[in-house]
Amino acid sequence: MLKVKDIKMHSAAFEKALKKRNFEAKSYFDQILDLDEKRRLTQTELDEVLAKSNSISKQIGMLFKSGQTEEANTLKAETGELKQKSKLLSEKHDSLQQELKGLLYQIPNIPHESVPTGQTEEDNEEIYAEGDITELDEKALPHWELAKKYDIIDFELGNKITGAGFPVYKGKGAKLQRALIQYFLDKNTAAGYQEVQVPLVVNEASGIGTGQLPDKEGQMYHIGEDDLYLIPTAEVPITNIFRNDMLSEQDLPIQLTGYTPCFRREAGSYGSHVRGLNRLHQFDKVEIVNFVKPENSYQALDEMVEHVKHILQELKLPYRILRLCGGDLGFTSALTFDFEAYSTAQQRWLEISSVSNFEAFQANRLKIRYKDKNNKKQLIHTLNGSALALPRVIASILENNQTSQGIKIPEVLVPYTGFEIID
């Protein structure tokens, strides 16, 4: 969430930057500044009424003590009127505050200056690529057919139990899934991330804090009776660990990692591009989250990108990195790098990770702050990334490593799976 004082100071620059997102901010900014002025005037009037009420209350006490009962009762009547007026002003102030916050929640983060202009994913900028794309023979199969051939993932059984987008992993497929989770966690903890295990459901405040609400409300599974939400990513509960907290400067950076199942409705997702593991309603993901001082956040982003690169290098998967354009940038992100692995059998790139810097956008919603060396309160910067999302990693492993003998397991995973081939 943007700060009102920053909008006041940089409205023209912010309007220009938000055009990269195809977001017209001027009318929002005009309303915000108008509401903020009304809120400030109301607060000033309320403060004056409360001060006058307090002053009269002191006079009443002194009058009663001196035996001037009639004068005291006259002033008591006046304080009653002031209390009623302060109540109305307080309600007006709260209403203006809520209206102001509602508008601020609708404005996305300011994109970093390096974000390219563009409207769709076609305008994203490839900045790095590594790995040779395997030449498969004409009998090569996409992962959903490999899953059926080797009986390792059952999409029809998942459909029977729950519905489309909820696969059942079986035998070596389940072991491969578990092996990847443990491998990712081991890589993250070795890099200094502390592992946490967090709830899979969150309250509304948590969803608002990280920006999933109200922006992506229709994409989250809502438990109506309890007013809770199934998490779309571990980013939500992990980042909310420090909601409303004042952190110590010496504790920063704080690096956390966690494995969770993730749940997304993916409303409106249809077609061949979402077949098999390409897009699911429930999937497993290992997340990394960083809480850092503002001056260190872009160095932290670079380090997170390098960390994910190293994992993909060990898995020996061909991949590329994209810098997302303004039109494809997530609501809360200032800068995002997407990692895509190549699906040889499908002959297309599959997104397997997003690494993002949210700067102070989430921290302002969450009120996560620290005191600097001058004892001044500062908002931290938050970052997160997938390290990694499992479904499309598995799809790429199955498709890129298929042979006439079976599917070869990447060497780095063999100690985790206990087998070298799926046959």
- Residue ranges for the binding site for ATP? 264-266, 351-354
What string of H, E and C letters represents the secondary structure of the chain? CCCHHHHHHHHHHHHHHHHHHCCCCHHHHHHHHHHHHHHHHHHHHHHHHHHHHHHHHHHHHHHHHCCCHHHHHHHHHHHHHHHHHHHHHHHHHHHHHHHHHHHHCCCCCCCCCCCCCCCCHHHCEEEEEECCCCCCCCCCCCHHHHHHHCCCEEHHHHHHHCCCCCCEECHHHHHHHHHHHHHHHHHHHHCCCEECCCCCEEEHHHHHHHCCCCCCHHHCCEECCCCEEECCCCHHHHHHHHCCCEEEHHHCCEEEEEEEEEECCCCCCCCHHHCCCCCCCEEEEEEEEEEECHHHHHHHHHHHHHHHHHHHHHHCCCEEEEECCHHHCCCCCCEEEEEEEEECCCCEEEEEEEEEECCCHHHHHHCCEEECCCCCEEECEEEEEEEEEHHHHHHHHHHHCECCCCEECCHHHHHHHCCCEEC
Annotated binding site: 233, 264-266, 287, 351-354, 384
Annotated binding site for L-serine: 233, 264, 287, 384
